Structure 1
Amino acid sequence: MSTKTTWVIDPAHSQIGFKVKHMMFTSISGNFTQFDGAAETESDNFDDAKFSFKAITDSITTGNKDRDNHLLSPDFFDAATFPEISFTSTGFSNVFEGEFKLTGDLTLHGISKPVELNTEFVGLAKDPWGNTKAGLSITGKFNRKDWGLNWNSPLETGGVLVGEEIKLNFELQFIKQEGISNY
């Protein structure tokens, strides 16, 4: 019988960000402000971690209310029908010291597909209140059309208004749940 440790995301010290090309040459950044997630490990170095995560779709913000409302509409996320975005890991393998490949199923817009994310374990420390914290930086990319996010508008000069590739950038701080064991 093995003892597993649960870690939960500290939302006050974490960011779930993304970028997408606008008009083929600049990137628009955004993030989700409501999210939660957990990791389950057998060691504090996260070598064997299993992750789960969800974001509330209508917590998206890009700094422009009209754009945010369009992203929440049926043209993109259709937040009324699909209120959550989720991820469940299927693998976490060490590539190099502190660098990992995180694989799992991303469910977005009612479609689940596998994704691979680059993950850096950036540290472990105690905060001033005695909590053990772990930091992870996660990056990756995917084609939004693979999840049915197809809306676009052609440009007079050629190309399209919104890029297909979504770049992810997560900065996550986890809090170790002392004394909690699932097994």
Structure 2
Amino acid sequence: MKKLLILLLISSISGVAVADKYKIDTKGAHAFVQFKIKHLGYSWLYGRFDSFDGEFEYDESDPSKANIQMTVDTNSVNSNHAARDKHLRSDDFLNVASFPAASFSSTSFSEGENGNGTMKGNLTLNGVTKEVDLDVTFVGGGKDPWGGTRRGYEAVAELKLSEFNIKKSVGGAYEELTLIVSVEGIKQ
């Protein structure tokens, strides 16, 4: 009887699902942190951050346990214009001398249809931490040609510059920045 209880305990423990861990594929350039904001109300200004890192977890049996942690080197901002990038690094905007990194740490995930959902978390930018909601779209997942497993998502959030102590926020249509994070993770 004692052996039977031990076997039942072992089999129940081994059946516990564990979240899969994924490293964001920055080496293969299969991930992007981008933004867009209106320029004078006449056009869109696009940019990206060239240096970032992170990881996420996903448990197919319990998607609510999904989480992501990312860190972005704010000095790597790239809007395809050297003078503007210098200004974006200044204390008018990103203040990289005082805050060389931005980070996001999720707190919850609510999955909807087809793997899409809402990821809530804390975004730290320019020394300010605020809770933000990311609209998450599941792009796909499965085996890759090299014998690994990958999973990809795109997340979008609308940020108000003034809420992150951005000095050059001029209000109106130029106050809202769209953040787009596209990640492809390699299962560890």
Q: 1:151 aligns with which of 163, 168, 171?
A: 168
Unaligned runs of 5+ residues in structure 2 are: 1-12
Is 1:49 paired with 2:60? no
Tell me which residue corresponds to 2:185: 174
Matched, 1:17 2:28: no
Alignment of 1:1-183 (within 5 A): 3-11=18-26, 12-43=29-60, 46-152=63-169, 163-177=174-188
| Structure 2 partner of 1:180 | none
CA contact (8 A) 2:63 2:110 kept: no
Amino acid of the structure 1 residue aligned with 2:73: I
SS of 1:150's equivalent in the other structure is coil
The RMSD of aligned alpha carbons is 2.0
CA distance in 2 between partners of 1:16 and 1:46 (Å): 23
Letter in 2 for 1:9: I
Alpha-carbon distance between aligned partners in 1 of 2:115 and 2:169, rounded to the nearest angstrom: 39
The offset of 1:128, in angstroms, is 1.4
Letter in 1 for 2:19: K
Deviation string, structure 1 residues 22-77 (Cα, Å, up to 9, x no partner): 11221100000100111123338855311101100000100000000000011111
Answer yes or no: is the 8 Å Cα contact 2:64–2:108 preserved in 1.
no
Q: TM-score, normalised by structure 2?
A: 0.84
Aligned positions, number: 171
SS at structure 2 position matched to 1:68: helix
Which residue pairs with 2:10 in the alignment?
Answer: none
Matched letter for residue 6 of structure 1: K
Q: In structure 2, what is the Cα distance between the partners aligned to 1:135 and 1:5?
A: 13
> Letter of the aligned partner of 2:174 in structure 1?
G
| Gapped regions of structure 1 (runs ≥ 5) | 154-158, 178-183
Percent identity between the aligned chains? Answer: 35
Name the one with the larger strand percent. 1
Q: Which has the larger radius of gyration?
A: 2
Please identify, of 65-74 and 120-129, the stretch whose mean Cα deviation from structure 2 is larger. Answer: 120-129
User: Could you tell me the TM-score, scaled by structure 1's length?
Assistant: 0.86
SS in 2 for 1:13: coil
Quick one: structure 1 residues 47 and 121, their matched pair in 2 at CA, closer, same or farther if it must change by over 3 Å?
farther
Which stretches of structure 1, 4 residues or more, deviate above 6 A after TM superposition? none
Given the superposition, is the C-alpha separation of residues 23 and 110 from structure 1 closer, same or farther in structure 2, using an over 3 Å criterion? same
Q: Which deviates more from structure 2 when the two are superposed, residues 97-106 or residues 55-64?
A: 97-106
> C-alpha distance in 2, partners of 1:101/1:152?
27
